[in-house]
């Protein structure tokens, strides 16, 4: 048997005296939300590209590519954010679309 020179305990004795030092650091990551754009037949392609550049910090080329994916597949995830940021992005897109009278839809969904 070997005794720790400081505590004079057997490090292998299996008692619970060191439990408090083993509690997991509580740094849980926040849940993330996918922000999605939905296709429609009326919103101009250029408007969707503009929205992606303006609110999602994407390059023109990336924005055009995602717009085309939505156009062809019906929807696409345009980014993943914490709840508050995702909500803000959705509100920004929906607000500009409404002001410009386009039926563009933007939604968010929890990432599992």
- C-alpha 47: how far from chain center: 23
Near ligand TYC in 14-73, by CB under 6 A: 37-41, 43-45, 48, 67, 70-71
User: Which token pair is 87?
Assistant: 């909500």
- C-alpha 30: how far from chain center: 9
Binding track, positions 88-107, relative to ligand TYC; x by CB under 6 A = ----------------x---
CB of 43 to ligand TYC, least distance (A): 4
Which region, left, alpha or beta, applies to residue 11 given φ > 0 means left and ψ of -120 to 50 means alpha? alpha
CB of 19 to ligand TYC, least distance (A): 54
Question: CA end-to-end span of the chain, whole Å?
Answer: 48
- Site residues, ligand TYC (CB under 6 A): 37-41, 43-45, 48, 67, 70-71, 104
């Amino acid at each position: 048997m070997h005794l720790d020179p400081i505590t004079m305990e057997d490090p292998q004795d299996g008692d619970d005296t060191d439990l408090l030092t083993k509690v997991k650091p509580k740094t849980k990551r926040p849940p993330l939300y996918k922000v999605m754009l939905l296709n429609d037949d009326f919103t101009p392609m250029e408007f969707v590209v503009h929205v992606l550049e303006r609110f999602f910090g994407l390059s023109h080329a990336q924005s055009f590519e995602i717009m085309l994916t939505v156009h062809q597949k019906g929807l696409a995830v345009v980014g993943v954010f914490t709840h508050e940021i995702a909500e803000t992005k959705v509100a920004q897109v929906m607000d500009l679309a409404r002001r410009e009278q386009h039926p563009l839809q933007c939604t968010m969904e929890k990432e599992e």
